[in-house]
A and B are shown apart, each in its own frame.
Chain A
Amino acid sequence: MTFLEDSFQDLSTPAARDRLAAFLATAAGVPCGVTSAAPLTGGASRDMWRIDAQIDGQPQPLVLRRDLPTSMIDSALTRTQEFHLMQVAHAAGVQVARPRWLCADPAVLGSPFFLMDFVEGSAIGRKVVSAPELATARRALPDQLATQLAAIHRLPLESLGALAGELPHPPADSTPAQDAITQAYALLDSLGVHNPTLEFLLRWAQRHAPTPVALTFAHGDFRIGNLIVNADGLAAVADWEFAHIGDPNEELGYLCMRDWRFGAPLRVGGISEREPFLAVYEAACGRIVDRQAVDYWEFLGNVRWGVICLSQANRHLSGRDPSIELASLGRRSVEMQYEALRLVRAMEAGQ
């Protein structure tokens, strides 16, 4: 793990902007300047900056994405992998900010980073599901998300080249559900947590796992809050660092989790009923979706998020990454636990 050098932690200083401008000039092969750099809020796991650059005299708004001293989840992709993945997705027509330049050398700005085109819009969950000025966007979003998710799941693994082998994927003798459960147990044990509800939920998950479907490419964090939305609807799918090879139903269930509805009632991200959404997805993806499997993955998504909340709190508690935001997540875990218990009850009633 690389720690940022103090001098370049703040990219708005003249020294940091000069270094970035020098990198851009070499990478782009034209004279470049950096007019301003301002931190973007929202990334709990990555350092994000809005960069106003001059590329060969032309103003170009960019976003810089950089590693923080501690990573949220150790299986997350490196900036290099994330950059290449975004290139593949962009080339395949997925709505993603155009990735521009990668710097894998930590010496330049303290840790690896990449730059992409700035996309105008908001990713703030509560705003996306309720802001009056986004009412038109909310009508367009369900079909757009279903179509995008289908396009992501249809990305041919061959198009990823060597990256396909590097992406996290369940071991050959396991399944996506079993792998997720094993990882959750390992995380709980590494934290020394004794939580009977999480134990029950994981045990239940183990005993009720659905028959696995054909594995596909998966975004890994496809939800309201990671989607940049403008007045017309979806502007870009962001946050690709948890991309992996997995069960496509996992992503459908994940998008339905209560926490990603941000207080709005509709099941799919607070913006759509589930059935019409799945119908559009099925048509675009060309596969029939097992509703019970989506139920299961929504439930397991809550269990995993409940475990991750505890591990996020531990980043603070261990002294590695002091932060009141991280600390507070520890007290949110029970929200996911209660939701998961209720989903168990609903699934058992439905059987």
Chain B
Amino acid sequence: MSLTDRPNLAEMIDATRMHLETTILPAVKGDAKLYFQTLIAVNLLRIAGREAASGAEQARAAWADLNAFAGVDTSLPADDSDGALEARIAALCADVRAGRLDDRDDALFALLMRLTRAQLAINNPKLLEAYDRDDALDP
């Protein structure tokens, strides 16, 4: 639910992406640099669109992963305005750097694999698919 009229966030991102792709890209074809930069803009809007669609769900999943790793059962505030997830990540970083988690390598590795794959799914899902295809061929 939102107070604002449509288009909503995801729809505005998509409309802008569509405009760049269908109108601007063909118009700047003759300028290699501008064309390349516009392709980057299109890609950033694709990332933003995926994040708008699944970012909140991914934050909840990350919170649950952190719970499982720490062996606790806390809940992520519905509106994480005080940055609870960020604070928890920062604490994890400090623990890793200080070597306090050296004896939990396997569990930590598994946690980071999940967090990293979740980010890759937003930033570059095609690359993630290519990795998984390779793994399926050569496990």
Cross-chain contact of B116 among A185, A327, A332, A337 (Cβ < 8 A): A337
List B residues 50-71 near A (Cβ within 8 Å): none
Q: How far is the CA of A337 from the CA of B128 in the complex (A)?
A: 12
**B-chain residues with CB within 8 Å of residue A39 when the two chains form the complex:** 33
Cross-chain contact of B96 among A41, A199, A332, A337 (Cβ < 8 A): A199
B108 touches A (CB below 8 Å): yes
Q: Given the known inter-chain contacts A41-B32, A324-B40, please indicate yes or no for A195 contacting B113, CB distance below 8 A.
A: no
Q: Given the known inter-chain contacts A331-B47, A338-B116, please indicate yes or no for A196 contacting B123, CB distance below 8 A.
A: no
A108 touches B (CB below 8 Å): no
B112 touches A (CB below 8 Å): yes
CB-based contact B44/A199 at 8 Å: no
Q: A203 to nearest B CB, angstroms? A: 6
CB-based contact B37/A344 at 8 Å: no
Q: Given the known inter-chain contacts A203-B99, A334-B123, please indicate yes or no for A196 contacting B115, CB distance below 8 A.
A: yes
Q: How far is the CA of A338 from the CA of B47 in the complex (A)?
A: 17
**B-chain residues with CB within 8 Å of residue A335 when the two chains form the complex:** 120, 123-124, 127
**A-chain residues with CB within 8 Å of residue B102 when the two chains form the complex:** 203, 207
A194 touches B (CB below 8 Å): yes
- Write the A16-35 contact mask toward B (1 if CB under 8 angstroms, else 0): 00000000000000000000
Total contacts A to B, CB within 8 angstroms? 74
Interface size class of B (residues with CB under 8 A): 20 to 34
Cross-chain contact of A199 among B93, B109, B119, B120 (Cβ < 8 A): B93
Q: How far is the CA of A325 from the CA of B43 in the complex (A)?
A: 11
**B-chain residues with CB within 8 Å of residue A328 when the two chains form the complex:** 40, 43-44
CB-based contact B109/A324 at 8 Å: no
**A-chain residues with CB within 8 Å of residue B123 when the two chains form the complex:** 331-332, 334-335
B90 touches A (CB below 8 Å): yes
Q: How far is the CA of A327 from the CA of B37 in the complex (A)?
A: 11
Q: How far is the CA of A49 from the CA of B81 in the complex (A)?
A: 48
Q: B35 to nearest A CB, angstroms? A: 11
**B-chain residues with CB within 8 Å of residue A338 when the two chains form the complex:** 116-117, 120, 128, 131
CB-based contact A196/B99 at 8 Å: no
- Write the B90-119 contact mask toward A (1 if CB under 8 angstroms, else 0): 101100110100100000110111011101
CB-based contact B109/A200 at 8 Å: yes
Q: How far is the CA of A155 from the CA of B7 in the complex (A)?
A: 62
* A interface residues, tally (CB under 8 Å): 26
A284 touches B (CB below 8 Å): no
- Write the B70-102 contact mask toward A (1 if CB under 8 angstroms, else 0): 000000000000000010011011001101001
Q: B139 to nearest A CB, angstroms? A: 12
CB-based contact A341/B89 at 8 Å: no
- Nearest residue, chain A, Cβ from B118: A334
**A-chain residues with CB within 8 Å of residue B36 when the two chains form the complex:** 41, 325
Q: A316 to nearest B CB, angstroms? A: 11
A182 touches B (CB below 8 Å): no
Q: How far is the CA of A338 from the CA of B127 in the complex (A)?
A: 10
Q: A76 to nearest B CB, angstroms? A: 23
- Nearest residue, chain A, Cβ from B66: A196
Q: A330 to nearest B CB, angstroms? A: 9
Q: How far is the CA of A44 from the CA of B105 in the complex (A)?
A: 37
Q: Given the known inter-chain contacts A41-B33, A196-B89, A334-B116, please indicate yes or no for A325 contacting B109, CB distance below 8 A.
A: no
22 A-B residue pairs with CB within 8 Å: A39-B33, A41-B32, A194-B90, A195-B93, A196-B112, A197-B116, A199-B96, A200-B112, A203-B102, A207-B102, A324-B37, A324-B41, A328-B43, A328-B44, A331-B123, A331-B124, A334-B116, A334-B119, A338-B128, A338-B131, A344-B109, A345-B109
**Other 12 A-B pairs with CB < 8 A, given A194-B93, A328-B43:** A41-B33, A196-B92, A197-B112, A197-B116, A199-B96, A200-B96, A207-B102, A324-B44, A334-B123, A334-B124, A337-B116, A341-B112
Binding site for A on B (CB under 8 A): 32-33, 36-37, 40-41, 43-44, 47, 86, 89-90, 92-93, 96-97, 99, 102, 108-109, 111-113, 115-117, 119-120, 123-124, 127-128, 131
Binding site for B on A (CB under 8 A): 39, 41, 185, 194-197, 199-200, 202-203, 207, 324-325, 327-328, 331-332, 334-335, 337-338, 341-342, 344-345
